[in-house]
Structure 1
């Protein structure tokens, strides 16, 4: 039984990563995806983004450079404070997030097809238990 659970978790993880890779041809990292997500509703300054993400300015700067090279973001001097930089999504960055959202919707639709309402509810309860544990452990490790 334990080996079946182990194999199922590993297979699920592999399949979800494979699904992500279908819409992530340039292999952006999870952190870079989080940066793009922060920028989706509106442009932002690096100082604000580093606080939101809980990372150093240096780490953010390295990831912003990669996203600029991929043409997912632009950076321009802030209109209110020329010492600051405003970071915004490019059309390519917006399209990338749109493609990811479409893939998320396809995954949701597939889950709705294979699971009854009751099974969906059971999955959510059980998955959220594991998600909460993993998140708490990760946050504790970071401190």
Structure 2
């Protein structure tokens, strides 16, 4: 019998393996996570990105520099606080995410094949609930 711990570890391993198949070699997982976050917000300060992703400012700075070099993001001064930069997803970055998302659609095809309608709804609700709890715990650590 699988325990919850086994199920979570196995799911994480499978999702990482699928992520390796879907993401282009030119960007790292961290860079993908940054781009994905930027696709959900119009502009965001690096300090907020580091908290939301649970990474150090140093590691984030390096990733942002590489993403700027690849023209996937741009940064501009914050009009409210000129000492701070705001990070924005470029059209090139948005296109890259669209291309990656096409690969992610295959995950949904597999889910559609193995789950009935009720199970898909339950999985979506439980995954969202669990994701929010993980994010909340990570953000509490930075308070």
Which TM-score applies when normalising by structure 2? 0.66
For residues 43 and 123 of structure 1, do their structure 2 counterparts lie closer, same or farther at Cα, with a shift above 3 Å needed? closer
For residues 121 and 49 of structure 1, do their structure 2 counterparts lie closer, same or farther at Cα, with a shift above 3 Å needed? same
Q: Retained in 1: the 8 A contact 2:72–2:94?
A: no
Aligned CA RMSD, in angstroms, stands at 3.5
1:112-127 → structure 2 map (5 Å cutoff)? 112-127=112-127
Following TM superposition, the consecutive aligned residue runs of length 4 or more in structure 1 with deviations greater than 4 angstroms are: 38-44, 54-60, 74-78, 83-88
User: Which residue is equivalent to 1:96?
Assistant: 96
For 1:69-126, what per-residue CA distance to the aligned partner results, in whole angstroms no more than 9, with x for missing partners? 4x24365989xxxx989866364x4443122211222211221111110111221232
Of 132-141 and 122-131, the range deviating more from structure 2: 122-131
Which TM-score applies when normalising by structure 1? 0.66
Structure 1 stretches lacking a partner, 5+ long: none
Q: Retained in 1: the 8 A contact 2:76–2:87?
A: yes
How far residue 16 of structure 1 moved from its aligned partner, in angstroms, is 0.7
Taking CA–CA contacts closer than 8 Å with sequence separation of 6 or more, which of the two structures ends up with the larger relative contact order? 2
Q: Whose Rg is larger?
A: 1
For residues 36 and 127 of structure 1, do their structure 2 counterparts lie closer, same or farther at Cα, with a shift above 3 Å needed? closer
Give the count of matched residue pairs. Answer: 133
How far residue 12 of structure 1 moved from its aligned partner, in angstroms, is 0.8
Q: Retained in 1: the 8 A contact 2:50–2:57?
A: no
